Amino acid sequence: MTGLDAERLVSLSAEGKRGSGYLLTPDLVLTAGHCVGSKGSAVTVRKYSRREGSYELPDDRQTFLVAVNTGAELDCALLASTVDDPFRTGQGGRGDEVRLGRLVGDDAVPAQALGFPRSGVTEAGARRWVNVEDVRGTVLPLTGSRREVRRLNFQVRTGASPAVQGSSLWSGLSGAALFSGDHLVGVITEDRATIEGRLTAVPVGAVFGDDGLDEANACLLATRGAAATARVALDPVWAGGESLTPPYSPLPLRDQWSEADLLESRHGVVPFRGRTEQLHELVDWCERGDGQRIRLLTGGGTVGKSRLARELCRTMAKRGWVAGVVDPLHVAFSSVCALKEKRLLVVDDADAQAGQLDVLLAEAAEHHSHDALRVLAVAQRGGLWWQAIRRRYESLVDAEEPPPLAPLREADREDVYRAAVTAFRGWYAQSDTTDAPAQAASMPGDEAVQDGEPQDEPGVPRLEGPDFGSYLLILIQALVDARTSIGKVPSPTAGRPSRSRADALLDYAIDVERQRWQTSAERHELPHDPVLLERIVAVCSLAVADGETDGERETEAARRLRLVPDLADEPEWLTRAFARWQHAAFTGDGYLRSLQPLRLAERLGAQVIETFPELAAKLLDVGGGGPGVPDDPTDQARQILNVLHVLQLTAGSDAARSGDMGEAENSMAEPDGETRHGPSVQQRARGTLERALRDHAVPVVRLVKQVAVTDQDQFASAIGTSLAAALNSTLHEKSAQEVAAQVLREFDATCADVLLELATAVAEHAVQFHRRADAPATQDNRRELAQALQRWSLYLASSGLRIRAHEVAGQAVDTFHALQQLSPSEEHEFYLAEALKDLADRLVDVGRFEDADHCAGDAIRRLEALYQRAPSRRHAFGLVKALCTRATAAHRVGRQREALQAANEACDLIEQLPQPGEGEGGGEGDAYESDEIQSMKAFALRGLAWQLGASGHVEQAVAKGIESVETYQALRQGSPGLWKRDIAEALSVLGVQHGARENWDACVARHREAVDGHYKALEREYREAVRPQHALALGRLAQAHLGRARTRSGESRQEDLQRALEHVEEALDQYERMRKEDRWANRIHEAWTSCLQAEILLEFGSTDRPNRVTAVTRQSFGRAESAARRALSLYDEIDVRAWKLRFARAHAQAVLAKSYGGRGRPRSKVLRAHEQARHAFTRLDAEEPGRAEEELLGIEEAIDGLKQTGPPAQARAQPAVNRSGKRRRRHQPKTRLRSRQGAQVRRKHR
């Protein structure tokens, strides 16, 4: 398979006509129908060829016959040669299959065509030259021609022919193949003279494939050597399609492919065998319904996961799906997620690409399409990274995870072995001839390899045991036997083995590759010492080199090769030569390319790292600035990710060894027959990598913070997220507790969201480290334990684990309290005060507001004393945080004046702080940077805005809210990964203040920005952690729509009410989905939301004529009554001693009374409900004169109206219709046999 190839371009002439064409195969030309005659007529064809560094059209003419001519409407033709391969294009590896594509999507795609138009003809005397024209532009999918066969419109951007009399200057270009990327998508047929620079092409989907012509399909399949019953495959092509790679790609040219390429699943040299049940199960999963789903496919290393995933892509592509493997260097998925097609996306090595997977799923969640989208994540194991994905996208993940992929059964192993031996023999036989390899063998599942000359049935070796549970080892064994059968290097497994069978096979594959490296290096006149080349390949498999231009990439690659000990002191021209050599000798992404398959790279890298342990440290030394580390932070992160991936692969190799297998793997056979036990190469390399990672853990964490938090590039953020997930998995081991205690200092108290899981795990391990039995009983250890507990509590709270966070915060307070008692000091007093403030925050989280108020007051008293003695910025910051916490707690328990006073004191204090470098002479205050001061200011302003609004100072509250939002926005411009939740809360608070001013448009806008712009994304990422805030924001947005609806009429009013109802129901659904402890802590907000739902339903039920009540309005009033009763029942569970809570309950009682009236309840019941509400508001107004006056007057007016007119009349019952026509018996009342005394007794106890 290949893209547009100039050496496939042909010029043709027939019956006085001239045109262009393209060789689909060495014997078949695709062109336009009007350029040739009828079926069976002869056509003279000349091929465009490269000679002496340039292209020309030689005089070599060949005769082709018209095999298919579709007629004028379709205007396409196929020309078949009278001889096999007339232009000898199969030589030199140019027999690659042309990939055909069909356009999907609505966006324009880039396109290119090569042909021989009339404008390219040059005459000089008697001589006449025909020049090629390289036409480039875009195909416009939404612009089509109305005719029986749809046309593609190709807008040329490289120039347009001027209008001339006679035929168009584009004539002669007809028949040229139109390519988009690597796919042939159409054939140029005409020039649309009405639009300048517009050419028309017929799509190849109208000629080939399921919608094409049987005759054309059969003709192309016959020249390809495929079965006539098959159909030509067409790949989907769309704008942004480079984010996906096809499931199978062809081998490189013969002088470039190697035996390692034969083993790779992406080339599909070996037909797919075995795993039929698993494939059918995955196909069923793909086709089971619409919507979006994600599944994890796990299994041991080289067990065949990637092969199964690629075969699934191939199967679904045959069924019309857009299917492929996600390119690891792309993070732009908006185009593929927006396609109105069924899609299957495979993310290979998902554990190393966790950030990319997260970006893909986030983009998919933004596009709510009815078309199916399936994401298959392939990894060796799940772990913490997968738990995070499940939590963020729980609605997309299946409830039950499939079991890990088991090793192949023995019968399937034999099938794989036989197919591999046959395929390898065929490739070796074809590569040794002058003919090109038969491309039928490059597609899996194709039996062309077995349809040739009879081969001797290979004897199947013994494939039982854990060794051959690896798909790769079966293929290597087949490669060994195939090479041995044709007289190549004998198998190294002969004789007494000095290593395990698995290692012997892996080393054999590396030995075969090493021979190719030597031959290639010698051909490039480079030193070809095998040990040197092995080390170069190992370093290239781990290091990263990138740049804007090829020269910059070559320079960076030459710097990385300085890591090879043999090249450390060599001249630059040699390292550059080796950099160019490896780039040309290997295939893959980037300038430095890894050995494939990865199991071979892991084996080779482990051997080199074992020999040179310092290499691991140089690869991870991101803070040292040596030649082994790139300058760009994103490239540094990619390089560390490569090293960590090898670390995980070695762990997987070790984990695969169990029982006797592990014993054999870790032993070496001595010449005398005895066995010497010891760690394997992988184990020793893993130990070296772990030590290097621990030594450089601090700069690595700093790099993650820089890339994942500060960098605004989406690709950099995805790499940083992947690196954080990999570090989390690596540092999760108990052996990493010591480095966790060291690394914890690098995390901020307000940790960025992408680092939260890593920070939580590090904090937990640091606590375990300081609590170990062998930990020193010193003050420093106790203080570090208390600080680790405090950080752990903060990270747990940010992750939504509020109950656990509250428990850990209490432990931190107890530890600091004991430390202060044992060794009193100002420093310990400050730590204790901060711990008390954090505990107060955790108490607020779990709904214990009285305890939170007392705890915050204790913290304030301690911090005020410290601030009076030493007014430093450190003490001021702690005091500001404690005052804000006190304001929140006091507000929740109804002490509004205290809350407002605390908020004002916090803002006044933050305004008095000097900026960094001012006032404190660069002392300890410099630890607080400008961003931290500004974030604290925004935090205090947000709290003050809320308290001012609650106290009735609305104008001031709006001003403070706007200032808080602007401050957060300015902070996020420099660090977009921080303050996500803070700005969402600030927007929500500002929206509430706009609502208090009855500026409903601004209120709706701010709440919508908070919900759609922030909380929805945060909800996907952190679920339970932000669900309470998200639910509250949805309720506030519903209240804003309700307020605006009350000022409108007609359709605008109904639209606002409908949106309000949708948002409030979504908020109530969020409360239903909360954990029990979160829902208990947020009962007040849930009660308020239920009451708000009742109010919205009452507005829906109100009509212009109150004396007429329909069934629909009765239903609305009924739902309103249920919602109000639910609100009252929740308020009854809460301690409503606070004035504000009693006011909210009285309001709910008033709403219930209105619903009674709307439903037409008895007049006495409606009056009694209103009087209960009036009594509650009367008591509230007596306690706080004026605050409940408006509500009290409204209730009294309603009562006066009810006394005069009564409740609205009920809807008349519809007369029953007797459809059967039978007469019904009149109801005969039963005779009362009970005495009046008995009735009185019943009434008494009723």
Backbone phi, then psi, for 51, in 5-degree steps? -140, 125
- In the chain, which residues fall in CATH 2.40.10.10? 6-237
Q: Which of 1169, 1176, 1179, 1158 is nearest to 1199 (CA)?
A: 1169
pLDDT tens-digit series, residues 691-717:
888 888 888 888 887 887 665 556 666
Average pLDDT over residues 952-957: 89
Give the distance, in angstroms, between the CA of residue 405 and the centroid of all CA atoms in the same chain.
23
| Higher local confidence (pLDDT), 118 or 608 | 608
Distances (CA, A) of 85 to 27, 435, 450, 662: 5, 11, 23, 55
Q: Is residue 455 pLDDT above 50, yes or no?
A: no
Residue 715 DSSP class: H
Q: Is residue 1243 pLDDT above 70, yes or no?
A: no
pLDDT of res. 669: 42
| Higher local confidence (pLDDT), 1205 or 994 | 994
Q: Is residue 1028 pLDDT above 80, yes or no?
A: yes
Q: Is residue 223 pLDDT above 50, yes or no?
A: yes
Count of Cβ atoms closer than 10 Å to residue 614 Cβ = 14
- In the chain, which residues fall in CATH 1.25.40? 1082-1205
The whole-angstrom separation of Cα 219 and Cα 217 is 5
Is the dihedral angle over the CA atoms 13, 19, 24, 30 positive or is it negative?
negative
User: 554: pLDDT confidence band, cut at 50, 70 and 90?
Assistant: very high
Average pLDDT over residues 1137-1155: 87
Helix axes 1139-1159, 1163-1183, angle to 10 degrees: 160
pLDDT of res. 1101: 77
pLDDT of res. 1067: 92
Cα first-last separation, the chain: 87
pLDDT of res. 927: 40
pLDDT tens-digit series, residues 50-93:
776 567 777 788 999 999 998 888 889 999 998 888 888 765 54
- Which of helix, strand or coil describes residue 492? coil
- Which of helix, strand or coil describes residue 500? coil
pLDDT of res. 550: 86
Q: Is the preceding peptide bond at 407 cis, omega within 30 degrees of 0?
A: no
Tell me the range of 10-19, 176-185, 418-427, 1129-1138 where mean pLDDT is highest: 176-185
pLDDT of res. 874: 85
Under CATH, which number does the domain 241-406 receive?
A: 3.40.50.300
Q: Which is it for strands 183-191 and 17-25: parallel, antiparallel or unpaired?
A: unpaired
Looking at the domain 1082-1205, which fold is it? Answer: 1.25.40
Report whether 25 contacts 79 (CB < 8 A).
no
The percentage of residues in the chain with a pLDDT greater than 90, rounded to a whole number, is 23
pLDDT of res. 790: 93
pLDDT of res. 68: 93
pLDDT of res. 1123: 92
Q: Is residue 1090 pLDDT above 90, yes or no?
A: yes
Q: Considering only 178-187, 587-596, 1140-1149, which range has the smallest mean pLDDT?
A: 587-596
pLDDT of res. 987: 94
CB within 8 A of 982, min separation 6: which ones? 935, 938, 939, 942, 968
Report whether 990 contacts 962 (CB < 8 A).
yes
Distances (CA, A) of 183 to 5, 60, 100: 11, 28, 5
pLDDT tens-digit series, residues 866-898:
999 888 888 888 898 899 888 888 877 777 788
User: 278: pLDDT confidence band, cut at 50, 70 and 90?
Assistant: very high
User: 147: pLDDT confidence band, cut at 50, 70 and 90?
Assistant: low
pLDDT of res. 395: 79
User: 229: pLDDT confidence band, cut at 50, 70 and 90?
Assistant: low
Q: Is residue 126 pLDDT above 70, yes or no?
A: no
pLDDT of res. 321: 92
pLDDT tens-digit series, residues 785-825:
999 999 999 988 887 788 889 999 999 999 999 999 988 99
pLDDT of res. 988: 93
**Tokens representing 856?**
């915050």
User: 442: pLDDT confidence band, cut at 50, 70 and 90?
Assistant: very low
Q: Which of 464, 409, 469, 466 is nearest to 660 (CA)?
A: 466
User: 496: pLDDT confidence band, cut at 50, 70 and 90?
Assistant: very low
pLDDT of res. 881: 87
Q: Which of 828, 831, 890, 824 is nearest to 857 (CA)?
A: 890
pLDDT of res. 246: 87
Q: Does domain 6-237 have CATH number 3.60.21.10?
A: no
The whole-angstrom separation of Cα 919 and Cα 912 is 11
pLDDT tens-digit series, residues 356-412:
888 888 888 877 777 899 999 999 888 778 887 887 787 788 877 888 998 888 888
pLDDT of res. 1100: 82
- In the chain, which residues fall in CATH 3.40.50.300? 241-406
pLDDT of res. 255: 63
Report the chain's mean pLDDT, rounded to a whole number. 80
Single pTM value for the model: 0.74
The DSSP line for 169-219 is: TTTT-TTPEEEETTEEEEEEEEE-TTSTTEEEEEEGGGTSSTTS-HHHHHH
